[in-house]
A and B are shown apart, each in its own frame.
Chain A
Amino acid sequence: MTFNNAFLSLSNFIPEIFLFSMAMVVLLIGITNPLKKYVVSLTIGSTLIALFLCFWGYTEETVFMFNTSLIKDNATEFFKILCYGIFLIQIIVSQKYLKNKNLISGEFYSLLIFALIGCLIIISSNNLIVLFLGIELSSLSLYSLIALNRTSLISGEAAIKYFVLSIIASALILFGFSYLYGITNSLVINEISTYLLSNEISNLYLFSYILIFIGVAFKFAVAPFHMWLPDVYEGAPLPITNFIASIPKIAFFVFAYRFLNDNQILFEDNFSKFILYLGIFSIFIGNMYALAQKKIMRMLAYSGVANSGFIFLAIFTSIDFNFSVAAFYVITYTITTVSAISIITFISSNKFDLVYIKDFKGLSSKSGLVSILFMITLLSTAGIPLTIGFYAKYLVLDALVNQNMIIIAVIVVLFTVIGLYYYLRVIWFMFFETGFNSLIKVNGIYYLAVLSIIPFSIIAIFLFPEFAFNYLFSILA
Chain B
Amino acid sequence: MITMTHYLVFSALLFCISVAGIFINRKNILLLLMSIELMLLSVNTNFIIFSHYSNDITGQVFVFFILAVAAAESAIGLAIIVSLFRARNSLEINLINKLKG
Residues of A within 8 A of B (CB): 128-129, 132-133, 136, 140, 143-144, 147, 150, 153-154, 156-161, 163-164, 167-168, 171, 174-175, 177-179, 181-182, 185, 187, 230-231, 234-235, 289, 292-295, 298
Contacts and interface: CB of A to CB of B under 8 A. Distances in A.
- Main DSSP-derived SS at the B contact region: helix
Contacts of A171: 15, 36, 39-40, 43
B80 A163 contact: yes
A144 B76 contact: yes
Contacts of A129: 61-62, 65
Nearest to A299: B101
Contacts of A153: 87-88, 98
Given A153-B87, A156-B84, A175-B42, A167 B73 contact: yes
Interface residues of B, number: 40
B14 to A, nearest CB: 10
B79 A178 contact: no
A234 B47 CA distance: 38
Given A144-B79, A168-B19, A178-B43, A234 B62 contact: no
Interface in B59-101: 59, 61-62, 65-66, 69, 72-73, 76-77, 79-81, 83-84, 86-88, 96, 98-99, 101
A198 B40 CA distance: 32
Q: Which 4 residue pairs are nearest across A and B when measured between Cβ atoms?
A: A182-B50, A178-B46, A156-B84, A231-B99
Given A174-B43, A175-B43, A143 B80 contact: yes
6 contacts: A167-B39, A168-B22, A171-B15, A181-B50, A234-B101, A289-B101
B53 to A, nearest CB: 8
Given A156-B87, A164-B36, A171-B36, A132 B98 contact: no
A202 to B, nearest CB: 14
A157 B98 contact: yes
Given A153-B88, A160-B80, A181-B47, A294 B101 contact: yes
